Amino acid sequence: MDRGFSLLEALVVLALLSLLTGFSVLNHQAMRPGLDLRMAARQVVLDLRVARLHAVADNSSHRIVFPSGAGGYQQQRKRGSVYVDDGVAVRLPPGILISECTAADNGISFKPRGNAAVFGTVVLRNGNGTERRIIVDIAGQVRVQ
C-alpha cells in the first residue's frame, strides 16, 4: 500500500488554494473602502469624546476643526480668547475625506462643563461615495449615523 499524495493530487490542491486565496484578496479589496470609512468614523467619534473630556479636565474649551474636502482634522484648545493647535493634525485613512461640517467655522467645540459650545454634523465620504455622519448635539453627546 502506497502512502502519500501523487504529484497530480498535490498540484490540484495547490491550484484550489491559489484560487481561494485570489478570491479572498479580491473580496478584501472590494470591502476596503467601507472598512476604512467605518474606521475613520470611529476615530472621529473617539477624538470628539476625548476633546470633551479634556475640556472638562482642563477647565478650558477644546475644539476640533474639520475643513471640508480635507483628509484630516486639527484638535485645538482655547488659550485666552483664541484657539491654538493642540498637537499635530490627525490624518484620516487614505481615500476618506471630510465632505461637510455643518458647525460654525467647521469646528465643533466643547465647554468646560462638557456641553457643546458649537455643535453640528461631520460627514465623511469614501471613494465609492458612501457616507457616515457623526452628529454632536448641544449636550455634547456624539453618535454615528
Q: What is the pLDDT of residues 23-32, one digit of tens each?
A: 666 655 667 8
Residue 72: the pLDDT is: 97
- In DSSP notation, the chain reads ---S--HHHHHHHHHHHHHHHHHHHHHHHHHHHHHHHHHHHHHHHHHHHHHHHHHHHHTS-EEEE--TT-SEEEEEEEETTEEEE-SSPEEPPTT-EEEEE-SGGGEEEE-TTSSEEE-EEEEEE-TTS-EEEEEE-TT--EEE-
Under CATH, which architecture does the 7-144 domain have? 3-Layer(bab) Sandwich (3.55)
Residue 131: the pLDDT is: 97
What is the per-residue pLDDT across 9-43, written as a single tens digit (0 to 9) for each?
888 888 888 877 776 666 556 678 899 999 999 99
Residue 7: the pLDDT is: 82
Q: How confident is the model at residue 4 (pLDDT cuts 50, 70, 90)?
A: confident
